[in-house]
A and B are shown apart, each in its own frame.
Chain A
Amino acid sequence: MTEPAAPADPAAEPNLVEVRGATRRFGPVAALRPLNLTLAAGDHLLLAGPNGAGKTTLLRLLAGLARPQQGEVRVGGADPRRAAGARRRIGLLSHQPLVYDDLTCEENLRFFARLYGLDGGDETVAAALARSGLAERRDAVAGALSRGLKQRLALARATLHRPELLLLDEPFTGLDAGAAADLVTFLRTRAGEDGTASVLVTHRVTEVADLVNRVVVLDGGRRRCDRLWAGGDGDALQALCAAATAGRDRARAPA
């Protein structure tokens, strides 16, 4: 199958992310078939598809948390598994909070500020706490926070070092509608501030229609759709994603 051409403008700045022929198998299951993908600064990509489509696998390859069995993944021109400099460009937010339950909000952020070697760590941490609305809970242990507050802390941790590439894996899991809307607002503000790129994996497609400007639909480890998205109607975005895998659904439907 010929993959659709990526809509990135070749005349634009060098790509922040380049995936060339990356594959990944788990035993007999091909989680990701040879995939090419480029992402430039300012791209906000929605990675959609049914369960088992390869979305999280691709995200873990981009984060340097998994190794492609074939092909290569480059972030800022370097392999994120090998180059600490490439990983420094990445912020990861997952459906898990990725914060330590036994440490306070401030201690969590201070710890990661140290790991990222941030100058002026105290000011950076204080600003991140204020931006996330957690300034008054700075001394509360993360394990005592509600799911929504913990996810705010997680977002503060993921964006503490002002990453150029934000990877978001089902960030709305466990959040109610209000908390999810807050998170979308925060992400939109964040994206507008620094001109970061982002890759967002979520099944709650309608909630991110105004956040993303490009849509890639995966199915069975293959790319079924790669379109620019002008924003707007969430239902239209949902329909676009559903249409990309419609053939698959028909094939699975009972006779």
Chain B
Amino acid sequence: MSLVGQTLAILRKDLLAEWRTRERLSPMIFLVLLMLLVFNFSFDMAGAPLHRTGPGVLWSAFVFASLLGLQRTFAAERDNGCLDALLVAPVSRTGLYLAKALANLLYLLVVEAVTLPLFTLFFSLPVGAYLAPLPLVLLLGSTCLATTGTLFASMAGHTRLREFLLPLLLLPVAMPALISCVAATGAVLEHSRGGAASWPPALAAHLEMLAVYAVVYSTVCLLLFEHVIEE
């Protein structure tokens, strides 16, 4: 079976189980909504420009939600010892990693798709064409989180302290990408004042950085996964 076929088979299995249980998406979405609500009441948004506080609020919520979801990346595989069955099968470790990372990326994108309309509502963000680059920022940022998070989730999964270890491993490594995410989101939101449809000038540099991070993280994690997943 080809690498693509193996990846899709594992991805399909994960999505089917998630569709049936919603054990990852439900808590992720609920946490993000709670955080938005708390931030909404905590910050005096009338006094602070949205492009200064909004990106931090948004990405803080996404990072915590992703940590919640990433903890469960290999949970189904750990239960009943299914990881052994997967590793004994003639499955490429690359296919396993790609499927898990893709599933994590999809969950994060769903959470973001649900969150954004509520973010615009809670923080009175004017809706306009200037928001068009935001999905690209979210996609690249989420790719960075999903690729590194999947690797570290597999590492942390071997330990007793996996819940504590994952954020301690992931956040320092993902920090450069997160800084770019916040900066790029800030550039997009700042552009709302002009109301222009064109891309803000500072955005291109941030997107380039994010694209580089996404490629580097994906490649390195892909190479390391085989060594991490085996005893």
Contacts and interface: CB of A to CB of B under 8 A. Distances in A.
Interface in B52-77: 76
Contacts of B1: 114-117
A97 interface: yes
A87 interface: yes
A97 B81 contact: yes
Contact of B80 (A64, A88, A100): A100
Contact of A98 (B10, B17, B84, B231): B84
A92 B90 contact: no
B85 A112 contact: yes
A114 B84 contact: no
Contacts, number: 84
B80 A87 contact: no
A74 to B, nearest CB: 16
Contacts of A67: 230-231
Nearest to B21: A102
Nearest to B9: A114
Interface string B197-231: 00000000000000000000000000000000011
Contacts of B231: 60, 65-67
B81 A112 contact: no
Nearest to B6: A115
B44 interface: no
A111 interface: yes
Contacts of B84: 63, 65, 92, 94, 96, 98
Interface residues on B, range: 20 to 34
Contacts of B76: 100-102
Most chain A beta-carbon contacts within 10 A, residue among B20, B90, B230 = B90
A90 interface: yes
Given A97-B80, A115-B1, A157 B88 contact: no
A90 B5 contact: no
A84 B90 contact: yes
Given A65-B84, A98-B81, A115-B1, A87 B90 contact: yes
Interface in B68-105: 76, 79-82, 84-92
Nearest to B87: A65
Interface string A49-89: 00000000000100111110000000000000100110110
A182 B89 CA distance: 26
